[in-house]
């Protein structure tokens, strides 16, 4: 069954076309990576998949239903969709607005009127899994970038959504937090979930994805398993996911060769 079907989707900000007749299909249960350099349209696409934006032309279908403003005007659909699909934004500042970390993570469960005892239990559990239990009483907007990112993730993971949309989840994290988070995402849901991750980082691609969709200028330019994408250095250079790196050897000779961001750790 198809989870998301994107069909000739065009989305423009004023005069700038961010998604240009984009067509792709993401099966249910996928671990998908949306790969692309800055400005390729990844964040825009996640917002359309999450029903926050709607295209000027073309369609996004979620399990067969075309996502439109009219459909989201039906409370039963909107509520069910928001329960099933969770988006973690690239910039956690747009997601955090509560006075404490606890309140932040408890916010959606409270909206959904879960029993109070269950909320306390689930919030503690997710804070613990994300290793931010000690931040429970802190003010979210005064935390470090990496801490904010984990709080934003916790506030979405607490609902245990079947579909998780992640926008550059490891971007603001130090190397140890990055690998902890990757481990958590790999284990998360025991493979029963769909996880769609936007990234330009090739390092953990094989762990987070079984399928990659490469975007360039708002168009799909490749779709393949991670091993295949990582082997295609011409594609990676053309789409600005790696750059040719000039450097001088001890002998004094200069040369340039493809340089992956993935060995910058």
Ligand X SMILES: Nc1ncnc2c1ncn2[C@@H]1O[C@H](COP(=O)(O)OP(=O)(O)O)[C@@H](O)[C@H]1O
Contact partner, 202, from Mg ion, ligand X, none, Cβ < 5-8 Å per class? none
What is the smallest separation between the CB atom of 33 and ligand X, expressed in angstroms? 12
Q: Which residues are CB-contacts of 38 (< 8 A; sequence separation ≥ 6)?
A: 200
What is the smallest separation between the CB atom of 141 and Mg ion, expressed in angstroms? 21
Tell me how far apart the alpha carbons of residues 14 and 16 are, in angstroms, rounded to a whole number: 6
* Contact between 199 and Mg ion per CB under 5 A: no
What is the smallest separation between the CB atom of 230 and Mg ion, expressed in angstroms? 21
Nearer Cβ to ligand X (12/179): 12
Nearer Cβ to ligand X (47/148): 47
Nearer Cβ to Mg ion (89/102): 89
What is the smallest separation between the CB atom of 43 and ligand X, expressed in angstroms? 3
Tell me how far apart the alpha carbons of residues 162 and 165 are, in angstroms, rounded to a whole number: 10
Nearer Cβ to ligand X (44/95): 44
What is the smallest separation between the CB atom of 248 and Mg ion, expressed in angstroms? 34
Tell me how far apart the alpha carbons of residues 132 and 154 are, in angstroms, rounded to a whole number: 9
Binding residues for Mg ion, rule CB under 5 A, total 3
Secondary structure tally for the chain: helices H, strands E? 10, 12
Contact partner, 41, from ligand X, Mg ion, none, Cβ < 5-8 Å per class? ligand X
What is the smallest separation between the CB atom of 213 and ligand X, expressed in angstroms? 12
Nearer Cβ to Mg ion (178/199): 199
- Alpha carbon of 95 to those of 43, 102, 104, 152: distances in Å? 14, 14, 9, 6
Beta strand residue intervals within the chain, DSSP E: 2-13, 16-27, 31-35, 57-62, 65-66, 85-88, 163-167, 194-199, 211-216, 219-224, 242-248, 254-260
Q: Which residues bind ligand X (CB under 6 A)?
A: 13, 16, 18, 36, 38-44
Cβ atoms within 10 Å of 47's Cβ, excluding its own? 18
Residue from 43, 194, 197, 199 binding Mg ion (CB under 5 A): 43
Contact partner, 148, from Mg ion, ligand X, none, Cβ < 5-8 Å per class? none
Nearer Cβ to Mg ion (127/152): 152
Enumerate residues 75-104 that contact Mg ion by CB under 5 A: 90
* Contact between 44 and Mg ion per CB under 5 A: no
- Alpha carbon of 1 to those of 27, 64, 222, 253: distances in Å? 6, 9, 21, 55
Own/partner pairs for 11-14, CB < 8 Å, 24+ apart? 11/44, 11/48, 11/53, 11/55, 11/56, 11/218, 12/56, 13/44
What is the smallest separation between the CB atom of 42 and Mg ion, expressed in angstroms? 5
Binding site for Mg ion (CB under 5 A): 42-43, 90
């Amino acid at each position: 069954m198809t989870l998301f079907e994107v069909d000739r989707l065009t989305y423009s900000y004023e005069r700038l076309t961010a998604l240009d007749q984009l067509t792709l299909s993401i099966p249910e249960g996928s671990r998908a990576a949306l790969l692309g350099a800055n400005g390729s349209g990844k964040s825009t696409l996640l917002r359309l998949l999450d029903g926050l934006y709607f295209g000027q032309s073309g369609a996004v279908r979620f399990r067969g239903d075309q996502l439109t403003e009219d459909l989201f005007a039906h409370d039963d659909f909107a509520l069910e969709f928001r329960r099933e699909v969770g988006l973690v934004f690239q910039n956690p500042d747009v997601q955090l607005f509560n006075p404490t970390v606890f309140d932040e993570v408890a916010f959606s469960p409270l909206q959904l009127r879960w029993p109070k005892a269950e909320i306390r239990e689930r919030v503690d559990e997710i804070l613990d899994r994300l290793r931010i239990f000690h931040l429970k009483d802190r003010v979210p907007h005064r935390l470090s970038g990496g801490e904010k990112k984990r709080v934003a993730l916790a506030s979405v993971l607490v609902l245990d959504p079947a579909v998780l949309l992640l926008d550059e989840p490891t971007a603001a994290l130090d190397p140890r937090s990055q690998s902890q988070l990757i481990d958590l995402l790999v284990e998360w849901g025991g493979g029963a979930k769909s996880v769609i991750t936007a990234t330009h980082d090739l390092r953990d691609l094989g762990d987070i994805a079984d399928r990659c969709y490469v975007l360039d200028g708002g168009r799909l330019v490749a779709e393949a398993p991670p091993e295949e994408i990582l082997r295609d250095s011409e594609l990676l250079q053309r789409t600005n996911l790696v750059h040719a790196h000039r450097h001088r050897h001890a002998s004094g000779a200069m040369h340039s060769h493809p340089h992956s961001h993935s060995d910058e750790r």
